[in-house]
A = this chain, B = another copy of it.
Amino acid sequence: MKYTIRDVAKKAGVSIATVSRVLNNKDRVKEETRQKVLSVIEELNYVTNFSAKALRKNQTDVIGAIVPEIANSFYGEIIQGIENKANEYDLRLIVCDGGGKLEKELDFVRFLYDKSISGMIFILTSLSDDELVKIKKSGKPIILFGRNMQAYNIPSITVDNKRGAYKAVMHLVSHGYKKIAYISGDEAPHLPDRKERLDGYRAALQECGYEIKPEYIAGGPTQTISTVFTHLMELPEPPDAIFCAYDELALGVLKTAQQMGVKIPDDVALVGFDDLRICQYTSPPLTTVKQPTYMIGNLCCEKLIYTLDQNNEVPSVNLVIPPQLIVRESCGC
């Protein structure tokens, strides 16, 4: 049985307006009537119809988040951060697994965004700046993680990739490594991560007066990790350390190295980027630059809620999060 506000009103002997009042406790209601209404609500087990409420108020308590891959714990942790924060504010979260496909993301935006959701969070989206601006213009607040959109007046959060890479390489240098290679993996043209991390790598070497050898910068989009790694180790002067643009690359290197009988960190040191959960369990455990995923999710959601509250009239700044070097054993330090 589904009761409406009308049923409650009749049974409590008041008008529906009064019921609505106690439900939303905005206007004041006589304590006596309030109690009466409350008891009837309890008795009938009445629950508000949120579609009706949403229609009337023209806003819902649902937000959306698009991630490239939910099953990846990196994104799972971000989602968790978003969801937990959303719950604090009685907001619900619709998740969208973009699968890294632009078309799928666009579908979500079309189907979901114009729907009754209050706002949306984009995690490492494939959408172009233009598309994002268009969405933003369509009215509802959006938050981005992974791209600085301050120039477009869209609030965003980024991790200081350059600094993270710099720290990683510096750590290697300070422990005596002199021939440090960089594996970049596949490119994501719309995302600045790779480039920034490469910049950090370069900056560190430069600062130390080390030569930046082109043959030490490896890993195009089409090559497998094992080819890249093998190639690197077969160089006349193989590197004594490798910095990978992201952990999955490092994981691949770890595996290949093991198969080839190359010892890590004894033969080559290895450092990754992201700090996936797996990193603590590999052998050796992987030294890496941590992106604080849960916190990132939290912050994205907080920013969105803030924008929601402020009715979108907020200066849209980019928040940059400092990365943290997690030293484990793969760097041999």
Contact = CB atoms under 8 A, between A and B. Distances in A.
Interface string A74-89: 0111011001100100
B115 A97 contact: no
A223 to B, nearest CB: 20
Contacts of A51: 51-52, 54-55, 58, 60, 116
Contacts of A110: 47
A71 B71 CA distance: 8
Given A96-B83, A254-B281, A90 B71 contact: no
B97 A80 contact: yes
A80 B321 CA distance: 28
A106 interface: no
Contacts of A62: 94
A255 interface: yes
Contact of A71 (B2, B47, B115, B294): B294
Chain A contact patch, size range: 35 or more
Given A55-B55, A97-B83, A281-B254, A90 B73 contact: no
Given A251-B281, A278-B281, A281-B278, A70 B80 contact: yes
A254 B293 CA distance: 26
A277 interface: yes
A77 B71 contact: yes
A92 interface: yes
A285 B76 CA distance: 23
Interface in A80-122: 80, 83-84, 87, 90, 92-97, 99, 107, 110-112, 114-116
* Copies held by the complex: 2
Contacts of A72: 73, 76
Nearest to A62: B94
Given A71-B80, A76-B73, A114-B47, A94 B96 contact: no
Contact of A258 (B75, B84, B283): B283
A69 B92 CA distance: 16
Nearest to A84: B97
A107 B69 CA distance: 27
Contact of A281 (B49, B115, B282): B282
Contacts of A52: 51, 55
Given A47-B110, A73-B277, 14 more contacts: A2-B139, A47-B115, A51-B58, A52-B55, A70-B79, A71-B73, A71-B293, A72-B76, A80-B97, A90-B111, A92-B111, A258-B283, A278-B281, A282-B283
Closest 6 CB pairs of A and B: A283-B283, A51-B54, A47-B114, A51-B55, A76-B76, A71-B76
Interface of A: 2, 47, 49-52, 54-55, 58, 60, 62, 69-73, 75-77, 79-80, 83-84, 87, 90, 92-97, 99, 107, 110-112, 114-116, 139, 251, 254-255, 258, 277-278, 281-283, 293-294
